[in-house]
Amino acid sequence: MAHLKRGGHTVTSIQRHTQHNELNTGSYDCLIHLAARAHVVRETVQYPYPEFKEANVDYSMKMAQLARQLQVRRFIFLSTIGVNGHISQQPFTESDTPKPHNDYARTKWEAELALKAFFEKSETVLTIIRPPLVYGPNPKANFKALLSLCRSPFPLPLGAIHNRRSLIGIDNLCQFIALCCHHPAAAHQTFLISDDHDVSITELVALIRKALHHAPWLVPIPTSVLKIIFSLLGKRNLNEQLLADLQIDTSKAKQLLNWGPAISFDEGIKRAVTNHVA
């Protein structure tokens, strides 16, 4: 929201408690839908799919109905690269067959389909954005855990991981969302977006520790050994999060919208680290 305001836009924030009758019909160019039930660290529900569906599909449709009611010209839906899958054999593209791997990604895909059907014959145009892991100051979930790990004074056994991961900094994501708010070619499109600079976990940890003014202190443990260790610790999910490839092809955004990330990957990591509140 701050990014849009700095760009001269007038922004109204819609929360779950917002009284919709207080919103002015015909006064808004774009509705950006960011709210979602994402990754829950300590899931308390045995079968969480209904919880994900209510938040990610049902609530998205309520926002779509609100957009139609308010005569909003464009609806931007922030989805997830998880719709494509969680491991890439080659860089993901917009034309790939979706392979969502968990309830979060599955319900995001279901929301995409429902929104496309809802807006198909509407004057409101839909734009879908599927980002990978988003990092920035005071992050949550996986990047928060990685940042905490990098802040520790101990050597880390992550010095021999040669995978490739796409990420996106919050500044670049906000820049892209703002572009999609007004660019004519963004209408009725789905975009995969990243910093356009893929790194291995080894490189990422070294870069974070450098920004923290720490020595890298990375021990080169073979990935085959790490897989065994993670499995024995009951952390099989780390095999995918730390060791597997997840790359994104951003060619469509660059060619169709003439887009390029405003902030370099190195600078984005520095901002995330130096502005982080532990």
Q: Tell me: the pLDDT tens digits for 97-156?
A: 999 999 999 999 999 999 999 999 889 999 999 999 999 988 777 888 889 889 998 999
Q: Which two tokens stand for residue 186?
A: 């963004």
CA distance 93 to 148: 32
Question: What integer pLDDT is reported at residue 28 of this predicted model?
Answer: 85
Question: What integer pLDDT is reported at residue 236 of this predicted model?
Answer: 82
pLDDT tens sequence across 229-258: 988 888 888 888 889 999 999 999 999 999
- Checking if the pLDDT of 266 tops 80, the result is yes
Residues acting as catalytic residues: 104
Task: Please check whether residue 186 is in contact with residue 126, taking contact to mean a CB–CB distance below 8 angstroms.
Answer: no
Question: What integer pLDDT is reported at residue 56 of this predicted model?
Answer: 96
| DSSP letters for the chain | -HHHHHTT-------TT--GGGSPTT--SEEEE-------TT---SS-HHHHHIIIIIHHHHHHHHHHHTT-SEEEEE--GGGT-SS-SS-B-TTSPP---SHHHHHHHHHHHHHHHHHTTSSSEEEEEE--EEE-SS--HHHHHHHHHHHSSS-BS-TT----B-EEEHHHHHHHHHHHHH-GGGTTEEEE---S--B-HHHHHHHHHHHTT----B----HHHHHHHHHHTT-THHIIIIIS-B-B--HHHHHHH----SS-HHHHHHHHHHT---
- How many other CB atoms are there within 10 angstroms of residue 122's CB atom? 13
Residue % of the chain over a pLDDT of 70: 91
Nearest C-alpha neighbor of 67 from the set 121, 119, 5, 12:
119
Question: What integer pLDDT is reported at residue 55 of this predicted model?
Answer: 93
Which domains does the chain possess? 2-274 (3.40.50.720)
CA distance 174 to 263: 11
- Checking if the pLDDT of 5 tops 70, the result is no
Question: What integer pLDDT is reported at residue 278 of this predicted model?
Answer: 46
Output the CA angle 137-28-12, nearest 5 degrees.
40
CA distance 150 to 148: 5
CA distance 260 to 81: 19
CA distance 240 to 12: 38
Nearest C-alpha neighbor of 149 from the set 203, 208, 200:
208
For the entire predicted model, the pTM comes to 0.92
Question: What integer pLDDT is reported at residue 250 of this predicted model?
Answer: 97
Segment 215-241 mean pLDDT: 89
pLDDT tens sequence across 20-53: 667 878 788 999 999 888 866 555 667 889 999 9
